[in-house]
Structures are given as structure tokens and as C-alpha cells.
Structure 1
Amino acid sequence: MKIDILTLFPQMFESPFSASIIKRAVDRELLKINTVNIRDFSRNKHHTVDDTPFGGGAGMVMGPEPLFECFDALKEKQGGQVGRVVMMCPQGEPFTQAFARELAREEHLVLVCGHYEGIDERVRQSLVTDEISIGDYVLTGGELPAMVVVDAVARMLPGVLGEAASAEEDSFYHGLLEHPHYTKPREYRGMAVPEILLSGHHENIRQWRRRQSLLRTLERRPELLREVALQKEDRQVLLELLELLQSLDLK
């Protein structure tokens, strides 16, 4: 996969992408990340990319010219066509694990990082295919959300993680929160690892993990259960858990 990131601050991406899983993916040529400085496409001598909004109001708006010309250059470099264009935007679609899996199927992504009060609407109308929000809050710019998107998408690419199962066991991959994890030592400061995880009985362990996953989702994010394709076994477990929680509340 190739990802082009259009930004006013390309230096912000140097440290996050030079370590850990992203760096290994780039080194192994599973992922190519290219940052493009939008200011390079400004036509004025000061390389400004913003101006006051028509109609008045506070703040500045990123103008269309540098971004359109940036896209023209990308198209020429890509042989006349760019991939999916995703703008980081508080008004965008909430970013989810399912969205990350969808984007991971693309060969080329273009991430657009806005700043100031926003980007001229003509950019959104003519160039952007998707808008993403990573939460109901406003950040200084789109760079941090772009880093989040790259990290989440990169994990989904074949070969990036040591084992494919690592991504499949993440929270939200199948719609549920992840089960608890334990490692050595077996007991620490009076806290012991659940015996079932030491039993070696794979089916019992699978059932325990699934139950824990359902319990955590029920307790912390019950709205997620509406979107999950629950098995008959899951429904029975949820009924038992609900009865248990109700009995505890009564006490």
C-alpha cells in the first residue's frame, strides 16, 4: 500500500513513523508513506495557504488553489489517477475498526490534513471521497488523526503483524471488546492468573475468552452488541450475564 499525506507540517510525522510496527512495515516494503507539504504548491512569495473567510467570521480558511495543484501533481505522478482521498474532519464519519479494514483493501490512499477553521468547501466537493473523524472533539489540525488512521490501517495489511491472528483478536475486530490477557509470572502481588488459562484445554479457554469479551462489551460498550452477529452460544451467555448483573444490582 502507498499512502500520501497532504499536510502543512510534514515534520510531525517523522518520529511516529520511524519506530515500531510502522517502521518495520516500511522497511519490509509492505507500506510506503509519503508526506507532501501543501505549502510547496502555494503561488505567493510567502507560501501562505490560507485567507479570511467570505461572509466574515473568526479564523482563516485553507484556500483551494494549493490543494488542487497538489492533486494535479499527485495524479501526474500516479499516471493520471489517485486512490481513495480521505480528509480528516470533525464532521466526518466516525473511524472504526471496520473502516480501517475497508481502507486496508485499497492500494493507494491520500490523507488530507486540514488546519485553521477548515478547508475551502470546493476541495471537499471535488477531490475528497471520504471524511473521517476520530472522535467528537476538535484538534489543532488533521495530522494526529492521520497518524491514527495510518497506524490502524497498517495493522490490517498482510504481513505487517507477526501473526495474522494478532489483528483478528484486537478489540472491535469482530465487533466486541477484547478479552483480558495474562503472562508470567503466574502470581504477582497476590493476584493470580485464572486457572482455566493454565489448563491447556483449548476449547474451554476459547469459551472463557469469548465469555469475557461479551462481559466486557456488555459492561462498557453495550451499544456495540446491536451490530455484532451473535451466535446462539453468545446469546445464551449474554442472558446468563444479564441475570447475574441484575442479581448483583439487587443486592
Structure 2
Amino acid sequence: MENIFSLKGKIALVTGASYGIGFEIAKAYANAGAAIVFNDISQDLVDKGLEAYHAYGIKANGYVCDVTDETAIQSMVAQIEKEIGIIDILVNNAGIIKRSPMLDMPADEFRKVIDIDLNAPFIVSKAVLPSMMKKGHGKIINICSMMSELGRETVSAYAAAKGGLKMLTKNIAAEFGSANIQCNGIGPGYIATPQTAPLREIQADGSRHPFDQFIIAKTPAARWGNPEDLAGPAVFLASDASNFVNGHILYVDGGILAYIGKQP
């Protein structure tokens, strides 16, 4: 049983994995035996990522690359194949969110979110697929969202992109499944990260932040997720344990999508 979850001998590329969810997934892959490769948009972020991996005793290789630049991505993948080897596992993690009421959002901002959150996974997947096909096996994991299923005020661009990413996941599965390539998605719920810390701060009167109260009330687990909660699902979808799982979005959300919420 341990062998089917092992990633020994595998090379994993996790985009935007200098910190946050991408970092935690890459760390889990390293602990399962994979060699880790990641990219980020600037040398400063790559250097910080390398330092963070080193602190955990993980040897990682970092590259500066814009995931929306198809030529740059093709070049980076070729460089990885030359220096490290053929990529076995791709995690399309890099992404942004811009919160703005739809009527206040300029079209250029909408396009930027779509470009990074939807077009980039297409570009990076397209770059790694030929070698995966030649090797006869590969795993692509797209970081989707509960917004792949739900809408909410101020996130029209993000929800549109993540909904599109859900369908791109299914289409890659349909088009490349016969080449023994599995493409699945992970849909994180609300995760406790430094970025969400202000939303979880105890208020001056000792009460929870209103948004914190909202999330707790909507989540059957009655808590925020931890980045570590994504480790097991990410390893499962990258390992031989999921070789007949394809086109699936695994929501790691504490049950929030299954729950209408408590009656007021």
C-alpha cells in the first residue's frame, strides 16, 4: 500500500510554489520522495522559496518564469528536462484574485485574472504534455476552487477563471486519458494562511471577525482548513493510487459545498 502512494523517482513541477498552498503541496511531494521544481515571477520570490525549502531539508530547483508567457514556459520546461529530467507531475498552482464589484472592475483587470488563473494552466500543461505522452504516463493537477462551483460578490473574474479551469481539467482528461495521463483538480475550501489571517483575528470585544463567523457557520467541520489538509489529497492525485481517477475535482473544503448552512 505504501508503494502506490510513493512518489520516489518522480519529478514534480509546482507553479508559483515559493509560499502558500503551492509550497505546502511541493513539501508533501518531497516527503513522498519526489524531486521538486518550482517557478515564480521574480528572482526575489524564487530565492525566498529556495530558502524555505532548504529550512525543511528539501533540495528544490527554482526558476524565474511568467506562467502566462508561452515562449518562456516552453523554454523553462526544456531547461528542466535537460537539467533535471522529464516532468512526471505538474501542479498548476500559480494564481491571483482581484476582489471588486463587477461594475467597478475594468476589463483589463478581468483579463489579467483570466490570463493567470485559466490561460496559464493551459500554457503550462501544453508544454509538459508531449514528454508525458512519450514517457507513457503523467499527472496534471489543477488548483481549482469552491468558486469553480459557486459565485460570490466581488469575485466575478476569479469565479469565471476557476469555473473554466474545472472544465479545462475535464477536457485534458478526455483528450489525453488514452495516453495514460490523468488530469484532476483540487478545490480548496477556506484555508488558514498568512493571507487570510486578518479575516480570523479576534475583535476588540472578544468576538470572531464577521467573515470568520460566516465561514465557521457554513462549514460542517466548523473550522478553517490548514495548508497541511491539502497534502494527502495532493499526494493521492499525483501517485499511482489515482491511476484510474481522471477528470475529477476533489474539493477539500470541510464539507462546505455539501451544506446549506445553519438556520438563523
Give the TM-score taking structure 2 as reference length.
Answer: 0.31
Larger radius of gyration: 1
More helix by share: 2
Give the TM-score taking structure 1 as reference length.
Answer: 0.32
